[in-house]
Amino acid sequence: MTSDETANPTTGDNANGTPNTTTENTENTGATNTAPTPETTEAATANASASATTPAQASAPTITPGVTTMHAWQVRENPGPIENEPLEWIEKPIPQPGPGQALIRILACGVCRTDLHVSEGDLPVHLPHVTPGHEVVGEIVALGADQGVDIHGQRVELRVGERVGVAWLRHTCGECDYCVSGKENLCRHSLYNGWDANGGYAEYMVAPDDYIYPLDGLLNSGYSLETAAPLMCAGIIGYRALKRTGLLDGVTFADIEAGRARERIAEIVGHRPALGLYGFGGSAHITAQVALALGMRVHVLTRGRDAQRLALNLGCASANDAYDQPDEPLDAAIIFAPVGAIVPPALEALRSGGVLSLAGIHMSDIPSLNYEQHLFHEKEIRSVESNTRRDGREFLAFAATHPIKIDAHPYPLDQAQKALQDLKAGAFTGAAVLRG
């Protein structure tokens, strides 16, 4: 890693937060107006500039001549309730890409509940005054030395002008047992955009090449900037949570690409599986469509009549209140709402051998469970920690060939705080997206 505004890894403190009570829903300081030198870069300190690459190491940015600063949001010294406006709007130097990095002009950034947790202090501070945001769609405007991204085992060079996406996972060590066994999401030295490094609530950001997703193909398949942005986390994490239910065990991505997945899933499970989704916000409404495309019956349990109507309009079999029992026993369920109190009724709704997947990075306390009532008959609870790059590539390839309807609500970039307030209040269905 280079010193591009990135915090030091926190050993043992990864993408799962300390439980705390929340409600259901379905930059550094020292920012300056002083023009930076070509060597200026953002540092992982309280100040906004530090030495990075020389002009010979990076291609010239295709930004407006003479423009050296950008606008961004950053978390104040003391995070707190979003109603108290814990974010501040600043002007700061445009960061420069180091070796193996790209400078991205941000065209759209989805608003994720994790951004709310970072802003309110539900998650421990990793980088003081961090810029939130990790559902980024943008355009490469400069490349550092040694660029290239490993896609499906092949080296593919990035290029200036290419449209790309940036997600939550930013860095893993590549050497630990987890990384070498295909479980890089569990790496104890992982770093995350919008938490350990400055993210997408800004006009520009720097990201490592090998954690960038080329998006020209996806955007050419019919997605707009606003509808593509939520795919970068809400979509990818939802796909990971669906895989954690076990309903895709034995199904290869080749099966999905060849259109054999519906038959394979029904064959393995023994019937057309029933999936429950608790909470129906940005991630759940995408995951529902993936599950429906794979032949599952989807039952949504969430508060809010608008969210229930959206679920039914997307083709879900039923939509009821969060603490109701679904219309049929569930083979698996995913809890998207960060509410631990939902865990017991969700377990009761499972068939014998069913799996409950917990999709959130943060959840309020889970009440005590009764073994016979909630866990007997080989029921399982599985958490979800981040995602692998393989998850991201598979999901984005799926989305390019299986159109997903994104209920996107655009906000101007300078209204990010309002978007987070509306997210917390449940003021919209689907996903909010920031546009510059």
Task: Kindly report, residue by residue over 13-26, the tens digit of the pLDDT.
Answer: 333 333 333 333 33
Q: Which pLDDT does position 361 carry in this prediction? A: 87
Residue labelled with tokens 């199904």: 251
Where does residue 78 rank: exposed (0-12), middle (13-18), buried (19+ CB within 10 A)? exposed
Which residues of the chain form CATH 3.90.180.10? Answer: 40-230+406-435
Helix H or strand E encompassing 297:
strand 297-301
Side-chain half-sphere exposure of 3, counting CA atoms within 13 A: 15
pLDDT band at 152 (very low <50, low <70, confident <90, very high): low
CATH: 3.40.50.720, 3.30.70.2660, 3.90.1570.10, 3.40.1520.20. Which one for 238-383?
3.40.50.720
Q: Which pLDDT does position 145 carry in this prediction? A: 84
pTM for the full predicted model: 0.84
Q: Which pLDDT does position 65 carry in this prediction? A: 79
Does the pLDDT at position 5 exceed 90? Answer: no
Does the pLDDT at position 60 exceed 60? Answer: no
Residue 55 has a CB neighbour count (10 Å cut-off) of 11
What's the rounded Cα separation, in Å, for the pair 111 and 407?
Answer: 13
The per-residue pLDDT for range 110-132, each reduced to its tens digit, is 999 999 999 999 999 999 999 99
Is 9 in a helix, a strand, or coil?
A: coil
pLDDT band at 274 (very low <50, low <70, confident <90, very high): very high
What's the rounded Cα separation, in Å, for the pair 366 and 341?
Answer: 6
Characterize 299-333 residue by residue with b for buried, 16 or more Cβ atoms within 10 angstroms of its Cβ, and e for exposed. bbbbbbebbbebbeebebbbbbebeeebeeebbbb
Mean pLDDT of 95-109: 96
Kindly give the interhelix angle for 234-244 and 282-293, rounded to the nearest 10 degrees. 60
Q: Which pLDDT does position 149 carry in this prediction? A: 62
What's the rounded Cα separation, in Å, for the pair 274 and 327?
Answer: 10
The residue count for the chain? 436
CATH topology of domain 40-230+406-435: Quinone Oxidoreductase; Chain A, domain 1 (3.90.180)
Is 82 in a helix, a strand, or coil?
A: helix
pLDDT band at 436 (very low <50, low <70, confident <90, very high): confident
pLDDT band at 312 (very low <50, low <70, confident <90, very high): very high
Angle among Cα 168, 203, 201 to the nearest 5 degrees reads: 40
Residue 426 has a CB neighbour count (10 Å cut-off) of 17
More confident residue, 45 or 195: 195
What's the rounded Cα separation, in Å, for the pair 99 and 147?
Answer: 7
> Which of 53-62, 133-142, 153-162, 295-304 shows the lowest per-residue confidence on average (mean pLDDT)?
53-62
Mean pLDDT of 90-99: 96
What's the rounded Cα separation, in Å, for the pair 115 and 155?
Answer: 32
Q: Is 385 left (phi over 0), alpha (psi -120 to 50) or beta?
A: beta
More confident residue, 242 or 23: 242
What's the rounded Cα separation, in Å, for the pair 431 and 427?
Answer: 11
What's the rounded Cα separation, in Å, for the pair 383 and 335?
Answer: 10
Mean pLDDT score of the chain:
87
DSSP symbols for 89-139: EEEEEPP---TTEEEEEEEEEEE-HHHHHHHHTSSPPSSTT------EEEE
Does the pLDDT at position 33 exceed 60? Answer: no
Q: Where are the alpha helices (DSSP H) in 168-326?
A: 177-180, 216-220, 225-228, 234-244, 253-257, 261-269, 282-293, 305-313
In percent, how much of the chain has pLDDT > 70?
83
Residue labelled with tokens 């606008």: 71
Characterize 8-31 residue by residue with b for buried, 16 or more Cβ atoms within 10 angstroms of its Cβ, and e for exposed. ebbeeebbbbeebebebbbbbbeb
Q: Where are the alpha helices (DSSP H) in 294-388?
A: 305-313, 343-348
DSSP state at residue 314:
T
Residues 6+ apart with CB under 8 A from 154: none
Q: Which pLDDT does position 155 carry in this prediction? A: 62
Which residues of the chain form CATH 3.40.50.720? Answer: 238-383
Helix H or strand E encompassing 155:
strand 154-156
Q: Which pLDDT does position 7 carry in this prediction? A: 53
Instruction: Check if the beta carbon of residue 345 is closer than 8 Å to that of residue 318.
Output: no
Residue 241 has a CB neighbour count (10 Å cut-off) of 25
Q: Which pLDDT does position 28 carry in this prediction? A: 35
In percent, how much of the chain has pLDDT > 90?
79
Backbone angles phi, psi at 215, to 5 degrees: -125, 5
Mean pLDDT of 210-228: 96
Q: Which pLDDT does position 44 carry in this prediction? A: 36
Q: In Å, what is the CA distance from 127 to each residue of 8, 42, 74?
A: 8, 12, 10
Q: In Å, what is the CA distance from 197 to each residue of 5, 6, 39, 290, 345?
A: 6, 4, 19, 30, 37
Backbone angles phi, psi at 70, to 5 degrees: -140, 170
pLDDT band at 64 (very low <50, low <70, confident <90, very high): confident
Mean pLDDT of 394-416: 97
